Amino acid sequence: MDALEYGEKQLVKRQGVTRKQLQRHLENKGYKFSTKEEVRLLDDLAREEFFIFIGDNPDLKYYLNVEGYFKLLEYRELSEARKSSVEARLFALIAIVLSFVALLVSIYFSNMELNQKTTIEDEQFNVIKNIQQSLESAGSKKHNKY
């Protein structure tokens, strides 16, 4: 992807890239081209992902082609999807932990309420008696009407 990003930058500048420039850029990124196989892979990359416009033989100019550009876009989209996936997992984990903590807090306070001694004061009994008496007197008045 480093080669494609470099090709994109040069394309935006409307400048071609020579094979030597591409190799130098990749070597600066940490790639090595010490074996014939590695050099062949670089040549394949240049041939498949770049257009070649003929210039002087050692200075062939390469420009990122449409296929290479779309591969770069797909790579970026995949990278963004992976980042979003990691963020979504993190938020889901946080939500699960918060739900679990809320459950534990709810159980704790419910248990405290259940274990707490319940007391009813005399005044509360008097209120209940008054309500009961007023209901009974209202009921007896209805029966007397009929």
Tens digit of pLDDT for each residue in 124-143?
A: 888 989 999 888 887 776 66
What is the signed CA dihedral for 105, 111, 112, 118, rounded to 10 degrees? 150
The CATH class, in words, for 2-64 is: mainly alpha
pLDDT tens readout for residues 62-93: 788 888 888 889 999 999 999 999 999 999 99
pLDDT class of 99 with cuts at 50, 70, 90: very high
pLDDT at 57: 61
pLDDT class of 52 with cuts at 50, 70, 90: low
Mapped onto helix, strand or coil, the DSSP state of residue 50 is strand
Domain locations in the chain?
Answer: 2-64
Cβ pair 38, 80 in contact under 8 A: no
